Amino acid sequence: MALENILILAAASLLWATIFRNHGRTWFMLIVSVIVIFWLQPALPIRGADFFTPLATLTLVVLTWFITADDETRKQRKNYITLAIVAGVVLLLNLTRFLPANFQLLTASRPPQLETTLVIFLITGLTLLALSRLTRFSASFLTVGLVLTIGLFLALKVPTLTYWTVYFLRSLSGQNVDASRITDFAWLGFSYVAFRLIHTIRDKQSGRFPAVDVGEFITYVIFFPAFTAGPIDHIERFIKDLRAPFAGLNLEKFYSASQRLLLGLFKKFVIADALALIALNDTNATQVTSTFWMWIIVYAYAFQIYFDFSGYTDIALGIAQLLGIKLPENFASPYLKPNLTQFWNNWHMTLTQWFRAYFFNPITRWLRSWQKPLSIPMMILLTQIATMLLIGFWHGVTWNFTLWGLWHGLGLFIHNRWNDATKAKAAAWATTPAKQAILNISGILLTFHFVAIGWIFFALSSPITSWQVVLKLFGV
């Protein structure tokens, strides 16, 4: 989000919390969240895509709610009212196509023809009607929903699939397909939407999904403070805050929320943006020849990505607090941790916890259930590398993100084996506070530099350029 977007949303949230308090709070969060996913979606070269992409988000969210909600919840009258209001908001946004260009402020470009949106509404409604007649096949629908979400995720992350997606959309809109580029299509917030939908479907399959109406579910998935950069909340915790009475802001709550918001703004727009001027990128990676300055730009990138990401998290937490929602923490001084395991327990914590709950733990249990299970070291190696590769692929299915995932997967495995082999000796040696401080500080420095070198693969687009940077760091 740009600075002006953040300030407008923060001001609107503060105004509502101050004047209306709990009156219509859930409606405010729902309607603003729907508007925001259209408002923040960037303009795209594909005709109409920047309007239909957020509309596809809403459609996917509603369909996921429908196949995960129980029959009693699904038939509640307020769900029809909510869907009608959401549809009305979308139609009003669509009608801004008839306003002069200077007044089209809530969509990236002029919205498409109204008839197309109405056809999408009709198809969605017929789909929901058909699904309502086939509830006995709900288990199959959950699997289909899971596969569809993962498939859409891959279409956005695998460059080849992205290209053919762009090719298809250009041909559908009657545009020149020869001009197709993978950069032509961007689905704002879908990475986080996908994680929330997968979490919902998996919890429904395991019988842990709570009963929520469609308005609560839409608000949870696209909650505007956390839509673009997280954190990834759990629906049980979010719904508890959403349903709790909100007495409005007192001085203590206002101070806490505004402090968090201002801290995030300072991190993102002062520190991170300043560091971005000298941080590692594809351009200066080839221009810098000095070992000293190569370390400087690598350090700059390491701190830039931290302050950028943690700044956005603080902004999200601050705005959410204004509305009585306490989102989970996402960062806890990760660069001050003495080993790689603790680093990942404190860096983007909600992402790490998500992968631990929905991939690492299930795959570990599956490997242990084998009739002839693997050795413990081999099991740890496979699960840690697989988990970190998936986290890398979440950012993009490229060679550099693959190398970044392997770097951290192997690092976690080596730390695990080293810790088991030396834990007793280290405890026997570190018998004084000074020796414990030496171990702690050396661990922090080693871990930070391991992570910083790993950021080289994350920041750059080419394995060859990344390797050249690594060589320059060590004067080769």
CA distance 109 to 49: 9
| First vs last C-alpha separation in the chain | 40
Copy the structure tokens of residue 154. Answer: 């891959």
Other beta carbons within 10 Å of 133: 8
pLDDT exceeds cutoff 90 at 314: yes
| pLDDT at residue number 155 | 85
Percent of the chain beyond pLDDT 70?
A: 99
Copy the structure tokens of residue 150. Answer: 């993962």
Residue 124 is which amino acid?
T
Is 467 or 131 the better-scoring residue by pLDDT?
A: 467
65-96 residue pLDDT tens:
998 888 888 888 999 999 999 999 999 999 99
> What totals of helices (H) and strands (E) does the chain contain, helices first?
22, 0
The rounded Cα 476 to chain-centroid distance in angstroms is 37
Q: Name the H helices within 173-327.
A: 190-205, 214-222, 235-243, 251-266, 273-275, 282-287, 291-322
b/e for 102-119, b at 16 or more Cβ within 10 A?
eebeebbbebbeeeebee
| pLDDT at residue number 330 | 94
194-249 residue pLDDT tens:
999 998 988 888 888 888 999 999 999 999 999 988 899 999 999 999 999 887 78
CA distance 80 to 87: 10
| pLDDT at residue number 103 | 80
| Contact criterion met (CB below 8 Å) for 73 and 135 | no
> In sequence order, what E strands does 320-460 have?
none
Percent of the chain beyond pLDDT 90?
A: 62
b/e for 280-315, b at 16 or more Cβ within 10 A?
beeebbeebeeeeebbebbbbbbebbbbbbbbbbbb
Kindly give, in sequence order, each residue whose CB lies less than 8 Å from that of residue 230, ignoring residues fewer than 6 positions away.
192, 312, 313, 316, 330, 348, 350, 351
Other beta carbons within 10 Å of 317: 24
pLDDT exceeds cutoff 90 at 28: yes
Mean pLDDT of the chain: 91
CA distance 238 to 221: 10
37-67 residue pLDDT tens:
999 999 999 988 999 999 999 999 999 999 8
| Contact criterion met (CB below 8 Å) for 159 and 196 | no
395 part of the active site: yes
328-339 residue pLDDT tens:
999 999 999 999
DSSP state of 99: S
128-145 residue pLDDT tens:
888 777 655 556 777 777
Kindly give, in sequence order, each residue whose CB lies less than 8 Å from that of residue 289, ignoring residues fewer than 6 positions away.
472
| pLDDT at residue number 105 | 86
CA distance 309 to 303: 10
Q: What is the mean pLDDT of residues 146-166?
A: 86
Catalytic residue among 23, 234, 395, 408: 395
pTM: predicted TM-score of the whole model, two decimal places: 0.91
| pLDDT at residue number 389 | 95
DSSP structure string for 22-49: TTTHHHHHHHHHHHHHHHSSPP-SSTTH
Q: Please name which of 285, 334, 335 lies closest in space to residue 448, comparing C-alpha atoms.
A: 335
Other beta carbons within 10 Å of 196: 24
By CB atoms closer than 10 A (0-12, 13-18, 19+), residue 215 is buried
Length of the chain: 476
269-303 residue pLDDT tens:
999 999 999 999 999 999 998 999 999 999 999 99
Sign of CA dihedral 454, 460, 463, 465: negative
Could you give the C-alpha distances from 315 to 10, 14, 162, 359, 368, in angstroms and in order? 9, 13, 31, 29, 42
Kindly give, in sequence order, each residue whose CB lies less than 8 Å from that of residue 131, ignoring residues fewer than 6 positions away.
63, 66, 67, 141
